[in-house]
Structure 1
Amino acid sequence: MDQVYDVVMLLQNIYTFMIIGYVLLSWLPNARESFIGVFLGKLVEPYLSIFRRFIPPIGGMLDLSPILAVFALRFVAFGLIAVIDFFI
């Protein structure tokens, strides 16, 4: 069980850091058009777009959807661990 927990948490942490990196790239001019920005965008943007449908930016500039996305990702990771633990 510890191995499953470690793998799920590792994947969750990696994706969380990818979301944080993608958000930080938005603070730098033209950073999202770089190779790393495009790569992260292809991996993170489909997930973030789900939350952007429900949470509009505040004042047109402040996007809170990545915060909710990280919380939801953590919730799903712990739920997945609980389901796997139930069946093992």
Structure 2
Amino acid sequence: MPEGYLSNPLMLIINSLVGAYIFVLVLRVLLQYTNADSRNPVSSFIIKATQVPLKVLKPIFPTVKGLNLSAIVLMLVLQMLIGFLAMRGQPNVWVVFIWSLTELISTIINVFIYSIFATVILSWINPGAHNPVVSLLYRITAPVLTPFQRLIPPMGGIDFSPIVALLALQVLKMLLLPPLFALI
């Protein structure tokens, strides 16, 4: 039986589960940073899903200026775990750290990109509806969209700031990630 026969499906499962938890941690950091309503059912789920490990890390890594450092450290540690598992053998800690940091930055930018897309589509489909997920999406996108909305006011009732914000996020990824990957 080849070595990769069982290890590849196992890596897929581990990567998917840990990646999903990292995504939930990213949402927790963003929702906490934007002061989202913790009574929202989605926020409540995210808080409960991340409460146990963060309670342990919180005394060591407190929240500073709205950024939950314990969640950020946990995201980095989990991403590094995936890196160590993916790079079998004797991986270099520095390489795994830089790779993990780059992956986390990419994930955070992608969360903003997908959230902006979702809010745009939802504004076309059902613009006035109140939904717990929709209100959280608007909270998540506010730090990115607000500066662009100040620069580009709506023209004829159409808001072009999401398009410019999406372009800026893509440019940010193109400028930020390749130099980090080059360090590896």
Unaligned runs of 5+ residues in structure 2 are: 1-94
- Length-normalised TM-score, structure 2: 0.40
* In the alignment, structure 1 residue 58 sits paired with structure 2 residue 177: no
Deviating beyond 6 angstroms after TM superposition, the runs of 4 or more aligned structure 1 residues are: none
Which residue does 1:37 correspond to in 2?
134
> Offset of 1:86 from its aligned partner?
4.6
Of the structure 1 ranges 66-75 and 5-14, higher mean CA displacement relative to structure 2 is found in 5-14
Amino acid at match of 1:36: V
Amino acid at match of 2:140: L
Larger radius of gyration: 2
Q: Which has the higher contact order (CA 8 A, sep 6+)?
A: 1
- Length-normalised TM-score, structure 1: 0.76
User: Identity percentage over the alignment?
Assistant: 31
Unaligned runs of 5+ residues in structure 1 are: none
CA distance in 2, matches of 1:6, 1:86: 13
- Structure 1 residues 10-55: Cα deviation after superposition (integer angstroms, max 9, x where no partner): 5433321210111122221433x21011110110022101100110
Amino acid at match of 1:72: A
Distance 1:6 1:46, change over 3 A: closer
CA distance in 2, matches of 1:16, 1:6: 15
